[in-house]
Chain A
């Protein structure tokens, strides 16, 4: 069902059938041409083999029709080939407007992927099935290239530039099936390293401890939308501190800094662009519209998702919404952190 052939890997994206169609068209044209030319040559070699030394065959003649014919006629095929090749290329370079965006950052010798919710994976790529995904690629050092054979896509990572590729995966792999490999396809060196290849799923291979161009890859996991969303949630789950899962309050403190809440909200009572978080929990505050509200879970959650609906008096309605960039568990964690600020 995955249409893998002797020559081509499994088809896993919407491009694959089109690219493979062009590939096999050229392949069969080539087979016919090869058999015709080499077959004719071998037949002539046998048929007109030398009978005795010194024989003088009839002088080579001219056949203008034949010569002009085989000079001009390949043009028809070549123009057609260019046409289908270019058509496929246009599709490969024109992502739909609604494509989900993933940032890929290449460096010697790993890939960092950043997802719309801000989570990261290293040397593992998660993508949703049946949804266009646009990958914006950059490099931090030398040339690299992102190559996913099953998707039939490839694009160089050039330092100082952004380059893009896009694809739409057509089948899921599940969370653990190593079926769709991505590679670095542009040579980028190698070095001895203590840890071996850094792909977490592959572990260390005892026979060598080299990383480089050849180890700069990993597996792509294609998940259905619900599973993908869950994975994204998990990636955004509580971090590990001191070898255990962080408490909600600890995680909230981390997010306070990671999400740059600290640029507007102090935790020591100082009013900045926004109200301080110290001693705010459980107290009533005056709002800009003259009403009063109790600062509880519901008010804090509403203020994170729709910040300018209930603005505290004396402050400007300038806070951006965090809907979409913070998930429910992260919001819970921030609330838990605020509760500790007495």
Chain B
């Protein structure tokens, strides 16, 4: 591993003969027909299948969000009854969390790009990788089954004893979450082993792309936290089906115990969702500033710091729950510490821009949106970590706005930015930059239209998960709903950008952004084995001053190599 290469250019050496398909053929055309996709072991194809799945899930959850906002346009009944509303907001939350956001960046983008970034031919366990995709699919089928068999009305948090007693399909949804957890665990395990064992010669830890550091921290959390969720929802399913008294006081259980179990997973899950977003924007800031991220080591370690802190702050979801005052005090103090690694990242990204060469492509606009919106999301977290103010704000729209600024303003913006950034690599096609900028503007404006006003609504006392509200809140709700239409329009334009690119986008060069990072040093789309020759790394992924002109503009495309 310890490469001591000192030359200025990345050397290319060795060449693996590969049986069967031509390893130098592009991964999209090597292998034809539907079966070549369904039983593929290629991490890139599995990543693309995940990508399609999570985009469909995002569409489903997004339509539900628009319906919820439409219902809340005016007080009283607008388009649906109270029970339907409860089912729709539950499904919106469960789909967005478990089907979309947790697998979005790691399983879709990560699967595609992580081995390439490491200079590996594939992940460590390709079959396990395919298995984790199919486990996700089976979990999704369970989730969709629960929708058609009466849906779930518990909220995505499944709080007991409501969830132990509701007549809706909570058991099916609990099993869906249980199953999908294994997909998450296996992906995390696969990534950890891949990062440890399959780095190209010279890719030592100090040269790892920050995306990889983020994936590393995420994988650790997925492996350690997800089993707790699995146990929790399994106990819930057993309580519902076998009458086992764990959480329901009628059966001798303890409802607050469920909250401890649930948040012991679901707080780390928050970081499973946001750390990959941070990982993506670190790449975007580097490429579009054309320089190394300021404080590389601090950003890498802050991801691990967030992973560690994520495990010891779960009680801050329970300040009003009846947990002991002492626990409440300790969790509040620990929660304050989360601001340190979060702040370090934001400060370092900002400092990276200083004296850079800023290229405002659409992915960079999304990265800057992440910086702005995550800052809002993080700072409003201070109100919620501070005990005196949390008691007032707990379970109001302030919390709804806060976590949407982090999850959607953070992770979704990073996902959209990352998707466009790596789109040429994944598909081999460029997208329409002008149209993409229009969709960015609509998404950014619409997002703030929906959620900024929810902070005010919440701090004025509007509780969350309310089907109906007092007339005094009408103007805030109406404004939020108007924002959701702008946001929805933005996503329609975004979808059109992708469709247009697939249909008529011009062929992408290997390195359209002139990036020094290694995934751009192969063809677009990559060849079957990622690099036509084994990669030997002798500089960091952000060392623009050490990269050759060929690396920055052509990458190691087969065409470029012919000139060697």
Which positions in A face B, CB cutoff 8 Å? 6-9, 18-19, 22-23, 26-27, 29-30, 33-34, 37-38, 40-41, 44-45, 48-51, 53-60, 66-67, 70-71, 74-75, 78-79, 81-82, 84-89, 92-93, 141-143, 145, 147, 149-150, 152-156, 158-161, 163, 181, 183-192, 205, 207-208, 210-215
Q: In the complex, which residue of chain B has the Cβ closest to the Cβ of A45?
A: B358
Q: Is B205's CB within 8 Å of the partner chain A?
A: no
Q: Which of A59, A141, A156 contacts B321 (CB 8 A)?
A: A156
CB–CB A34/B376 < 8 A: yes
Q: Which of B166, B289, B322, B549 contacts A158 (CB 8 A)?
A: B322
Q: Which of B351, B394, B514, B545 contacts A59 (CB 8 A)?
A: B545
CB–CB B357/A55 < 8 A: yes
CB–CB B165/A78 < 8 A: no
User: Chain A residues with Cβ under 8 A from B328's Cβ?
Assistant: 89
Q: Which of A40, A82, A92, A152 contacts B333 (CB 8 A)?
A: A82
Which positions in B face A, CB cutoff 8 Å? 76-77, 81-83, 85-86, 153-155, 159-162, 165-166, 249-250, 254-256, 289-295, 298, 320-322, 325, 328-329, 332-333, 336-337, 339-340, 343-344, 346-360, 368, 371-372, 375-376, 379-380, 382-383, 385-392, 394-396, 455-456, 459-461, 463-470, 514, 542-545, 549, 552-553
Q: Which of A8, A85, A152, A161 contacts B386 (CB 8 A)?
A: A85
Q: List 17 A–B pairs whose Cβ atoms lie within 8 Å, in order of A's numbering.
A: A8-B459, A26-B383, A34-B375, A34-B376, A34-B379, A54-B552, A55-B357, A81-B386, A86-B388, A87-B388, A89-B388, A142-B165, A153-B392, A155-B320, A185-B396, A208-B468, A213-B86
User: Chain A residues with Cβ under 8 A from B289's Cβ?
Assistant: 48, 57
Question: How far is A46 from B467 in the complex, measured between Cα atoms in Å?
Answer: 45
A58-B355 contact in complex given A88-B388, A192-B83, C-beta closer than 8 Å: yes
CB–CB B456/A7 < 8 A: yes
Question: How far is A329 from B455 in the complex, measured between Cα atoms in Å?
Answer: 50
Tell me the smallest distance from the CB of B547 to a CB of chain A, in Å: 9
CB–CB B336/A79 < 8 A: yes
CB–CB A9/B460 < 8 A: yes
Q: Which of B86, B325, B346, B460 contacts A8 (CB 8 A)?
A: B460
User: Chain B residues with Cβ under 8 A from A150's Cβ?
Assistant: 461
Q: Which of B372, B389, B463, B467 contacts A212 (CB 8 A)?
A: B467
CB–CB A38/B332 < 8 A: no
Q: In the complex, which residue of chain A has the Cβ closest to the Cβ of B296?
A: A60
User: Chain A residues with Cβ under 8 A from B553's Cβ?
Assistant: 54
User: Chain B residues with Cβ under 8 A from A89's Cβ?
Assistant: 325, 328-329, 332, 387-388, 391
In the complex, the 10 A-B pairs of residues with the closest C-beta atoms, listed nearest first: A88-B388, A149-B461, A85-B386, A160-B249, A210-B82, A89-B387, A44-B353, A190-B82, A30-B379, A214-B466
User: Chain B residues with Cβ under 8 A from A59's Cβ?
Assistant: 291-292, 543-545
CB–CB B337/A147 < 8 A: no
Question: How far is A162 from B521 in the complex, measured between Cα atoms in Å?
Answer: 64
User: Chain A residues with Cβ under 8 A from B358's Cβ?
Assistant: 44-45, 48-50
Question: How far is A189 from B82 in the complex, measured between Cα atoms in Å?
Answer: 9
User: Chain B residues with Cβ under 8 A from A161's Cβ?
Assistant: 256, 322
CB–CB B81/A78 < 8 A: no
Q: In the complex, which residue of chain B has the Cβ closest to the Cβ of A182?
A: B461
Question: How far is A289 from B390 in the complex, measured between Cα atoms in Å?
Answer: 63
The DSSP consensus for interface residues of chain A is mixed
CB–CB B353/A48 < 8 A: yes
Given contacts A41-B349, A81-B382, A154-B392, 20 further A-B pairs with CB under 8 A are A8-B460, A34-B375, A37-B347, A37-B350, A44-B354, A48-B356, A50-B359, A57-B356, A57-B544, A59-B292, A59-B544, A60-B293, A70-B347, A79-B336, A81-B386, A85-B386, A92-B391, A150-B461, A207-B76, A210-B82
CB–CB B249/A56 < 8 A: no
CB–CB B389/A26 < 8 A: yes
A78-B337 contact in complex given A19-B392, A149-B392, A214-B467, C-beta closer than 8 Å: yes
Q: In the complex, which residue of chain B has the Cβ closest to the Cβ of A15?
A: B388
CB–CB B460/A187 < 8 A: no
CB–CB B162/A188 < 8 A: yes
CB–CB A190/B322 < 8 A: no
Question: How far is A48 from B328 in the complex, measured between Cα atoms in Å?
Answer: 46
Question: How far is A186 from B77 in the complex, measured between Cα atoms in Å?
Answer: 21
Q: Which of A26, A45, A78, A86 contacts B353 (CB 8 A)?
A: A45
CB–CB B357/A48 < 8 A: yes
Tell me the smallest distance from the CB of A71 to a CB of chain B, in Å: 6
A189-B456 contact in complex given A19-B392, A48-B354, C-beta closer than 8 Å: no
User: Chain B residues with Cβ under 8 A from A71's Cβ?
Assistant: 298, 340, 343-344
Tell me the smallest distance from the CB of A68 to a CB of chain B, in Å: 9
Question: How far is A213 from B86 in the complex, measured between Cα atoms in Å?
Answer: 10
Q: Which of B294, B298, B514 contacts A60 (CB 8 A)?
A: B294
Question: How far is A56 from B249 in the complex, measured between Cα atoms in Å?
Answer: 65
Chain A CB within 10 Å, residue with most, of B337, B353, B552: B353
Chain A CB within 10 Å, residue with most, of B155, B249, B328: B249
Tell me the smallest distance from the CB of B377 to a CB of chain A, in Å: 11
Q: Which of B82, B160, B395 contacts A185 (CB 8 A)?
A: B395
Tell me the smallest distance from the CB of A13 to a CB of chain B, in Å: 11
User: Chain A residues with Cβ under 8 A from B545's Cβ?
Assistant: 56, 59
CB–CB B357/A38 < 8 A: no
CB–CB A159/B459 < 8 A: no
Question: How far is A55 from B321 in the complex, measured between Cα atoms in Å?
Answer: 56
CB–CB B86/A189 < 8 A: yes
Question: How far is A49 from B290 in the complex, measured between Cα atoms in Å?
Answer: 11
Q: In the complex, which residue of chain A has the Cβ closest to the Cβ of B354?
A: A44
CB–CB B470/A181 < 8 A: yes
Q: In the complex, which residue of chain B has the Cβ closest to the Cβ of A66?
A: B351
Question: How far is A149 from B467 in the complex, measured between Cα atoms in Å?
Answer: 19
CB–CB A33/B290 < 8 A: no
Question: How far is A159 from B248 in the complex, measured between Cα atoms in Å?
Answer: 9
User: Chain B residues with Cβ under 8 A from A34's Cβ?
Assistant: 375-376, 379
CB–CB B322/A41 < 8 A: no
Question: How far is A273 from B349 in the complex, measured between Cα atoms in Å?
Answer: 82
User: Chain A residues with Cβ under 8 A from B464's Cβ?
Assistant: 185, 187
CB–CB B389/A22 < 8 A: yes
Question: How far is A190 from B80 in the complex, measured between Cα atoms in Å?
Answer: 13
CB–CB A29/B386 < 8 A: no
CB–CB A187/B162 < 8 A: yes
Question: How far is A51 from B545 in the complex, measured between Cα atoms in Å?
Answer: 17
Q: Which of A8, A56, A189 contacts B357 (CB 8 A)?
A: A56
Tell me the smallest distance from the CB of A106 to a CB of chain B, in Å: 13
A212-B387 contact in complex given A38-B375, A48-B357, A89-B328, C-beta closer than 8 Å: no
User: Chain B residues with Cβ under 8 A from A37's Cβ?
Assistant: 346-347, 350, 371, 375
Question: How far is A81 from B379 in the complex, measured between Cα atoms in Å?
Answer: 12
Tell me the smallest distance from the CB of B497 to a CB of chain A, in Å: 22
Tell me the smallest distance from the CB of A80 to a CB of chain B, in Å: 10
Q: Which of B83, B347, B463 contacts A190 (CB 8 A)?
A: B83
Question: How far is A59 from B166 in the complex, measured between Cα atoms in Å?
Answer: 60
Q: In the complex, which residue of chain B has the Cβ closest to the Cβ of A79?
A: B336
User: Chain A residues with Cβ under 8 A from B161's Cβ?
Assistant: 141-143, 159
Q: Which of B85, B290, B344, B350 contacts A41 (CB 8 A)?
A: B350
User: Chain B residues with Cβ under 8 A from A23's Cβ?
Assistant: 383, 389, 392, 459
A154-B391 contact in complex given A49-B360, A189-B153, C-beta closer than 8 Å: yes
Tell me the smallest distance from the CB of A333 to a CB of chain B, in Å: 39
Q: Which of A53, A147, A159 contacts B463 (CB 8 A)?
A: A147
CB–CB A50/B382 < 8 A: no
Tell me the smallest distance from the CB of B232 to a CB of chain A, in Å: 16
User: Chain A residues with Cβ under 8 A from B333's Cβ?
Assistant: 82, 86
Question: How far is A88 from B161 in the complex, measured between Cα atoms in Å?
Answer: 31
Question: How far is A71 from B552 in the complex, measured between Cα atoms in Å?
Answer: 34
Q: In the complex, which residue of chain A has the Cβ closest to the Cβ of B256?
A: A158
CB–CB B388/A189 < 8 A: no
Chain A CB within 10 Å, residue with most, of B332, B353, B389, B396: B389
